[in-house]
Amino acid sequence: MSRLAVPKTYKLFIGGAFPRSESGRTYEVLKADGAFLANAAKASRKDARDAILAARGAVGSWSGATAYNRGQVLYRIAELLEGRRAQFVAEIEDAEGLSRAQATAQVDEAIDRWVWYAGWADKFAQVAGNANPVAGPYFNISVPEPTGVVAIVAPQDSSLVGLVSAIAPALVAGNSVVVVASERYPLSAISLAEVLATSDVPKGVVNILTGSPAEIAPWLASHSDVNAIDLVGAGALDWIDLEIAAADTLKRVLRPETGADAAAPALDRIAAFTETKTVWHTKSLR
């Protein structure tokens, strides 16, 4: 007797759980040839607020972890991605219409970027921080600290690499994130959420919304409990208005990037989501 296939239900990822949109809305995700692929949840303003609340609650535990521990957790994500390469390759093949070799190259690049950022977790402060020369018998040391909750509009033309490239640098420094995935290619984002849910990432550290960036981004930009916003994938939106809304609540803003090198791995992307704290300490007079 033939069996019935069990189609996958793609939901949001908020606070470590997989809820449907509170609005009950979904939208069709199509293959590269226009054929139906899946239904994805269409996040609402309320979903965005819930994600921000979850991210705020997770900042303390994540930023309070040692840098070495954060690096271990990020590397664990890379390990799990490596174990599910075939699934991600198949999803990217279907969604973007790429060859098996091209899709595999994308997945491998995403894994490599996790590893690259994981390696910087316990080294970044040594590069971004500084011992400052001052007059007098004092140590004067500047160290980077996490900004807090970072909202992200992920690159819209990439299933996985762009998403990883936007999320990872914010996590390295100890921030929690709320990310709006690619509207056209959202399935790999939810599959990544399944990886995060089964890794050691604390609940609420990463929250993934699918749906319309044009609808969700204004609420993220204007929300007073978001400390920074990365508009890397917002180039097709009216991002100037988003930047103005972010300025009203004194957010750090990264402007949109385009092209193949958008959100390429860089220490500057980690530094963008940190604040510098300077400490004075007296030297021993003995």
CA distance 221 to 130: 31
CA distance 8 to 37: 10
How many CA atoms lie less than 13 Å away from 194 in the CB half-sphere?
A: 13
Q: 97-126, pLDDT tens digit by residue?
A: 999 999 999 999 999 999 999 999 999 999
CA distance 36 to 40: 12
Reading the chain (286 residues) residue by residue, the pLDDT tens digits are: 688 888 888 999 999 999 999 999 999 999 999 999 999 999 999 999 999 999 999 999 999 999 999 999 999 999 999 999 999 999 999 999 999 999 999 999 999 999 999 999 999 999 998 888 888 888 888 999 999 999 999 999 999 999 999 999 999 999 999 999 999 999 999 999 999 999 999 999 999 999 999 999 999 999 999 999 999 999 999 999 999 999 999 999 999 998 777 899 999 999 999 999 999 888 876 6
Contact 122, 108 (CB under 8 A): no
Please tell me the pTM assigned to this model: 0.94
Topology (CATH level 3) of domain 9-282: Aldehyde Dehydrogenase; Chain A, domain 1 (3.40.605)
Query: What are the residue boundaries of the structural domains of the chain, listed by start?
Result: 9-282
Q: 56-84, pLDDT tens digit by residue?
A: 999 999 999 999 999 999 999 999 999 99
Those residues whose C-beta lies under 8 Å from the C-beta of residue 244, and which sit 6 or more positions away, are none
CA distance 164 to 111: 9
Residue 235 phi/psi, 5° resolution? Answer: -60, -30
Residue 282 phi/psi, 5° resolution? Answer: -70, 145
Q: What does each C-alpha distance from 192 to 85, 185, 221 come to in angstroms?
A: 11, 13, 24
Contact 176, 149 (CB under 8 A): yes
DSSP-assigned states of every residue in 155-182: -TT-SSHHHHHHHHHHHHTT-EEEEE--
Residue 257 DSSP class: -
Distance separating the N- and C-terminal Cα atoms of the chain: 86
